[in-house]
């Protein structure tokens, strides 16, 4: 999950390639803002570009990750531009061949 965070935070000019280094070409990404379910590498790239435009200066910090038989839950914190905690959540990932195959993010309603 830390590798996904770094790829998602990469410069938009190289983000698609960065995502390709951590996720399968047919990765599925789900989050509840609002009920997003996207697949492939280009859609998460566009989603992350939209997030960065909507929330300038926000970043994610991975608090802890567990890995067990190709699955990994992770706790994370979203931090605003002034360093203040904006929200916390949990993501769950399924891995295949050492790459992310399926990612679901959970966080409280706004």
Token pair of 17 as six digits: 């390639």
Q: Are strands 99-106 and 36-39 parallel, antiparallel or unpaired?
A: unpaired
Give the domain ranges of the chain. 2-106
Given the candidates 3.30.70.1150, 3.40.190.10, 3.30.1330.10, 3.10.450.50, the CATH classification of the domain at 2-106 is 3.10.450.50
First-residue to last-residue Cα distance in the chain:
23
What are the pLDDT digits (tens) for 48-100? 898 899 999 999 999 999 999 999 999 999 999 999 999 999 999 999 999 99
What SS3 state is found at 17? helix
Q: At residue 28, does pLDDT exceed 90?
A: yes
The structure's pTM equals 0.84
Structure confidence at residue 110 (pLDDT) = 59
């Amino acid at each position: 999950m830390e590798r996904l965070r770094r790829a998602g935070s990469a410069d938009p000019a190289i983000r698609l390639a960065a995502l390709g280094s951590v996720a399968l070409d047919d990765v599925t990404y789900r989050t509840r803002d609002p009920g997003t379910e996207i697949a492939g590498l280009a859609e998460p790239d566009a989603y992350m570009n939209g997030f960065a435009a909507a929330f300038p200066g926000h970043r994610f910090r991975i608090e802890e990750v567990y890995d067990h038989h190709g699955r990994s839950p992770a706790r994370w914190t979203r931090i605003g531009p002034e360093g203040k905690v904006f929200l916390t959540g949990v993501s769950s990932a399924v891995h295949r061949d050492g790459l992310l195959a399926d990612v679901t993010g959970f966080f409280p309603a706004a």
